[in-house]
Chains A and B, each alone.
Chain A
């Protein structure tokens, strides 16, 4: 069950700093397009900055950068939002947990914050720690009344399975708006937009990216994703909803790799929650950018036929 006290703390701002994600921009542009456009429809103007870089989580957890290098990078990105006096909205679980975790860390450790700020001062910036980081799914849950008002394409009869992603609920178990083991807010949102939630056993399993395992330990990674996909396949949803572009990329692309390697046939479309909301809010099909998806495209077209193009 969502923690309503936490949800109530999320503001309903007029503007928000939209933090772009690497995977969303370069692999699944629909997430970025739908994210900004849906927020606009819901009355929150996304503000972007081309000075914003990658959150730095990947290089840190790939052990290429020590925390001493990633903390200034986090502080720099957050200071961009602070300059505009805005809270930050991210579309990726990784960005969320990384900005949040290291942001909290610096806020609670004056010494580290001072040394980080020295580095930022050299480039004329300062990190104050005033910008709160919200995940776009949190924002949607906060704005759910507005969503229900604006649904133009009800998802009637569409069977939807959910995948929350580890770095939102697990890593941020005290900051997330829902329980780490039995989250329901995404289900509520789907209900609200008229879809049918399909439960499956491996819902709370990791997608299998394993951060760098998909590159270094591909066998482990594929093994685990296969366990997850088997369970999804059994439930046979029309689409699988994720809230992290990295899970999105893993679950979408690995289906094709497994089909190729093992002669199986996984064909479940994977959508980001921003795309699902965008679909329900009636954004043009081109903006959903399903052309960038690898698996289950036929099924996606079929869904579009049913809910209207």
Chain B
């Protein structure tokens, strides 16, 4: 029946569900780079670095760009 979903959710209102949904998407689409997210990226970058000589070189070329971002993520302050 068409009201099954209401029983399923019980006391939870649509507002509760919508809050969760919005939280999920704002995390997913966030362009910010908090430390936690950066740390999550590390294994991937490491894997890419280990792939071969050329990938390592490319990643090292990126390092100067990366440093200020790391700093920003750790201190939580934006530079410049």
Contact = CB atoms under 8 A, between A and B. Distances in A.
Direct contact of A and B (CB under 8 A): yes
A53 B66 CA distance: 26
Interface in B51-65: 55, 57-59, 61-62, 65
Q: Please indicate which of the listed interface residues B31, B55, B61 has the most CB atoms of chain A within 10 Å of its own CB.
A: B31
B28 interface: yes
Given A118-B65, A123-B58, 7 more contacts: A111-B31, A112-B31, A115-B31, A123-B48, A123-B55, A124-B57, A124-B58
Contacts of B48: 122-123
A122 B63 CA distance: 8
B29 interface: yes
20 contacts: A66-B28, A67-B29, A68-B28, A68-B29, A112-B31, A114-B31, A121-B62, A121-B65, A122-B45, A122-B48, A122-B58, A122-B59, A122-B62, A122-B66, A123-B48, A123-B58, A124-B57, A124-B58, A124-B61, A124-B62
Instruction: Please report whether the interface of chain B is mostly helix, strand, loop or mixed according to DSSP.
Output: helix
B22 to A, nearest CB: 15
Nearest to B25: A66
A123 B31 contact: no
B64 to A, nearest CB: 11
Contacts of B65: 118, 121
A160 to B, nearest CB: 45
A118 B59 CA distance: 11
A114 B65 CA distance: 13
A116 to B, nearest CB: 10
A114 to B, nearest CB: 8
Nearest to B61: A124
Contacts of A124: 57-58, 61-62
A118 B70 CA distance: 13
A148 to B, nearest CB: 46
A187 B45 CA distance: 50
Interface string B19-34: 0000000001101000
Contacts of A122: 45, 48, 58-59, 62, 66
A218 to B, nearest CB: 24
A114 B55 CA distance: 21
B61 to A, nearest CB: 6
Nearest to B58: A124
